[in-house]
Amino acid sequence: MNRNNIWIHITIAAVVVTIAAVLGQINRWEKSLKIGDVRVDVTPAKKASRNHDSAVDVLVRFRPGVSFDRIRQIAARNNDRLDDETESVNGLISLDDMDDADASTVAAQYAAMTDLVSYAEVNGQISFDDPELYSYQNLRDDKGGINSTPNDPDFGQQWALNNTGQDGGKSGADISSLEAWKKTRGSEDVVVAVLDSGVDYEHVDLRTNIWVRPDSVPAYYDDELGEFNDEFGYNGTDQLSDPMDDNGHGTHCAGIIGAEGNNDEGIAGINWNVQIMPLKFLGRGGFGTTADAIKAINYAIDRKKAGVNIRVINASWGSTQNSKALEDVIRAAGDAGILFVAAAGNSGTDNDKRAHYPSNYDLPNVISVAATDRTDALTSFSNFGIKTVHIAAPGRDIESTWLGNAYRDASGTSMAAPQVAGVAALVLSAEPDLTVAQLRNRLLSSVDKLPNLTGKVSSGGRLNAAKALEK
């Protein structure tokens, strides 16, 4: 074969490989569903470096009475590596298959052990929706603007907190923050965890309100994963302990809950004073796994038991995957006294008919949140459901903190959920002894009833902070 023929064969081979790769990527896209607040990849989570050489393949909950030593033996027999034990949920284990077998096959293998296993499921991959769904706008780092009460320069643009009819809005279509602040402006004794892409804890408008592990609380230690330097929270996405946000989404949610108020800087959070705990399980590209979300919630439960006053977790993400393991750990968070506030999703569909998780979990500590606009109308993108969505809150054109001391407007139920989480923390600052059940009932029973929300959310109304504090 002459040299020209060799190059022709090499070129043809390269083209074939490229076409195969493209077809493989197209096939992957076809297996990805854009729903709610995230794009959900229904393929198993990719192998990725963590504290070991591979990512979690399956989540298995063994039956009560099966000892940890017995679980280790079963895993070893199947050539599976025990990645982590979820201490807050008895018998819940994450496993790596060392044979690179199909994750569904591995899950089925464990599920078939009915005398030993309650359930087994694939560790699914989740991520945010495409950025345009959130309508991120108006990136800026200027400090000029409208002066109002509080003295934060951009407070006049925060219609969700004080709607005077600005920019075509409806006066009073807000959460009545000015009235609420006459009673309380938050408390640094209350900790709200933001389960997301991390938080920019160096942001000028957030750094005062970021949780820092006190000296009285020991560093977090996990028997399987080792010790974490959890000075500012938890990072479950890689081997680093630093929960710094490299995406922006978590920082935006954090600012809604607790950007420092009345500091002559940027915006005001619903709580002028609070402690924001970053729980990072989504990476730079917005991708994460069910297992990493579970580990982050498990961390929050551990810190609660260690004396940290975590009362609320905000979860502005979701998928159509019904994970029993995730449900179990959220239930455990409720048992530990933690309210779980979840975005209802952004596909404009009925969650009663097409479930969205974790917002659809029927648990006593879960609140599912739809989104309204500045005229008190349910947004076109917001999911709803008279049985499964509980409350609405402002979620369109919401200004909040962004990476690098910046601020952005964003839209989504991702922005509505932290409104509820923020008001929950505000209520707890005035009444710290409320139980999860009492707090949840307080939020849902104090809404502003709106005709257009009748039949859309179970409470029939939009969040009202002032009324929640009056009860």
Question: Of 100, 122, 144, which marks where a domain is finished?
Answer: 122
Structural domain boundaries, residue 164: 131-470
Task: Specify which residues 228 forms β-bridges with.
Answer: 220
Residues 108 and 138 in one domain: no
Considering 88, 96, 127, 249, which one is annotated as catalytic? Answer: 249
What confidence category does residue 136 fall into, taking pLDDT thresholds of 50, 70 and 90?
Answer: low
pLDDT at position 137? 58
pLDDT at position 22? 38
Q: Does 171 participate in catalysis according to the annotation?
A: no
Please give the Cα distance from 62 to 80 (Å, whole number). 15
How many folded domains does the chain comprise? Answer: 2
Considering 57, 152, 196, 205, which one is annotated as catalytic? Answer: 196
Q: What angle do CA 251, 252, 254 make, to 5 degrees?
A: 65
Residues 109 and 240 in one domain: no
Residues 225 and 107 in one domain: no
Residues 95 and 227 in one domain: no
Residues 95 and 217 in one domain: no
Above 70 in pLDDT, residue 44? no
Task: Specify which residues 357 forms β-bridges with.
Answer: 319
Give the contacts of 221 (CB within 8 A, at least 6 positions apart).
227, 228
pTM: 0.87
Please give the Cα distance from 194 to 187 (Å, whole number). 17
Above 60 in pLDDT, residue 237? yes
Above 60 in pLDDT, residue 180? yes
Residues 202 and 110 in one domain: no
Residues 266 and 344 in one domain: yes
Whether 371 is covered by a domain: the verdict is yes
Residues 397 and 343 in one domain: yes
Considering 177, 323, 382, 414, which one is annotated as catalytic? Answer: 414
Residues 156 and 231 in one domain: yes
Question: Of 122, 147, 179, which marks where a domain is finished?
Answer: 122
Q: Does 352 participate in catalysis according to the annotation?
A: no
Tell me the pLDDT tens digit for each residue of 345-374: 999 999 999 999 999 999 999 999 999 999
Residue type, 211: W
Residues 215 and 317 in one domain: yes
Whether 33 is covered by a domain: the verdict is no
Residue type, 58: V
Residues 172 and 294 in one domain: yes
Residues 149 and 67 in one domain: no
Q: Does 9 participate in catalysis according to the annotation?
A: no
Tell me the pLDDT tens digit for each residue of 254-302: 999 999 999 999 999 999 999 999 999 998 888 899 999 999 999 999 9
pLDDT at position 139? 47
Whether 41 is covered by a domain: the verdict is no
Q: What is the DSSP letter of 63?
A: P
